């Protein structure tokens, strides 16, 4: 199968490689011409010689509207556009209606797997019409893990990104629990080897997980996380999850608390956020802020010692 792929960053670039390993042809486009297979969007579309043409957009949310609109003028009835970025589910029905008017199909696809997806496969949550999903299924099969799990047609337009949003909200809460446990162990005088404790939990415990494995990897590199500042960014999907829960009247106190903890980390000292930052770096390659020498404040000087 042939597919166009727009956006060849940390996720998109690895997805291109995994799809090619699955035996398919990928024509990628990126503004960075050193990694691009085409000079622009139109060139990418022109290189897709088999129909229906399928284009997967893997871009930050602020670039999706413009890109979908441009592609809509380049594609033909029966072609399909997939939005695989971390887009808000509320945009998907609008994009589907916009493209339906031109006879073009649309799928929203939440993608999880981070920088490890190339090796282990990506979890894919898809929303849209069943016929369009069936057309793209060979690409989904190439991207997903080799097991029976890792792919779901979640429902109608918006369902894929909604599922991914909730996935990320759960991720926030799990990371917060590991991080708070780590901080508590670090404070206990009786405990002498926190990394070994986390490592011991990898087998036999009810809290074992891939996220725990990555936590252990982070502690092997920096046993007390001295090299990382206690600032944890939020990607935006945690906010969307909490907002959706408010709109639907669903209580999500654990997810909400984990989101607000990240806000706190951006304002005041919070050691557990070192672990959150470390885990985000391990699974997604997200940048961490290097630990800074603590600022000494002179009498009468205002401001936050962290400089935020």
Active-site residues, by number, are 164, 171
Query: Residue 158: left (phi > 0), alpha (psi -120 to 50), or beta?
Result: left
Beta bridge partners of 155: 127
Unique residue bearing structure tokens 């060979």 = 138
CA atoms within 13 A on the CB side of 259: 18
Q: Are 117 and 15 in contact (CB under 8 A)?
A: yes
Unique residue bearing structure tokens 């413009």 = 66
Q: 22-26: long-range contacts at Cβ-Cβ below 8 A with a sequence spacing of 24 or more?
A: 22/138, 22/139, 22/141, 22/142, 22/143, 23/142, 24/138, 24/139, 24/142, 25/1, 26/2
Instruction: Cis check for the bond before 96: say yes or no (omega within 30 of 0).
Output: no
How many residues would you count in the chain? 308
Q: Are 45 and 39 in contact (CB under 8 A)?
A: no
The alpha carbon of 249 is separated from its chain's Cα centroid by a whole number of angstroms, namely: 26
**DSSP conformation letters of 283-307:** HH----PBP-PPPPPPTT--S-TT-
């Amino acid at each position: 199968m042939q597919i166009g792929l727009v956006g060849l960053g940390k996720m998109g670039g690895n997805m291109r490689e995994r799809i090619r390993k699955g035996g398919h042809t990928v024509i990628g486009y990126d503004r960075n011409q050193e990694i691009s297979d085409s000079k622009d969007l139109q060139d990418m579309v022109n290189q897709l010689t088999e129909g229906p043409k399928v284009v997967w957009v893997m871009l930050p949310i602020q670039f999706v509207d413009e890109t979908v609109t441009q592609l809509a003028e380049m594609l033909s009835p029966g072609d399909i556009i997939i939005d695989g970025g971390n887009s808000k589910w509320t945009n998907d029905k609008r994009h589907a209606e916009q493209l339906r008017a031109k006879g073009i199909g649309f799928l929203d696809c939440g993608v999880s797997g981070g920088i490890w997806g190339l090796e282990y496969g990506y979890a894919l949550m898809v929303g849209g019409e069943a016929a369009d999903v069936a057309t793209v299924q060979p690409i989904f099969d190439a991207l997903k893990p080799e097991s029976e799990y890792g792919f779901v047609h979640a429902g109608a337009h918006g369902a894929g990104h909604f599922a991914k949003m909730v996935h990320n909200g759960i991720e926030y809460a799990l990371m917060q629990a590991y991080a708070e446990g780590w901080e508590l162990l670090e404070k206990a005088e009786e405990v002498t080897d926190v990394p070994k404790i986390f490592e011991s939990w990898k087998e036999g415990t009810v809290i074992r997980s891939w996220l725990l494995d990555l936590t252990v990897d982070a502690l092997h590199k920096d046993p007390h996380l001295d090299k990382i500042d206690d600032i944890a960014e939020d990607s935006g999907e945690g906010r969307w999850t909490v907002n959706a829960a408010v709109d639907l009247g669903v209580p999500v106190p654990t997810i909400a608390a984990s989101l607000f903890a990240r806000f706190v980390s951006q304002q005041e000292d919070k050691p557990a956020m070192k672990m959150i930052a470390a885990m985000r770096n391990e699974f997604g390659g997200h940048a961490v802020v290097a630990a800074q020498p603590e600022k000494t404040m002179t009498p009468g000087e205002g401001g936050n010692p962290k400089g935020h």
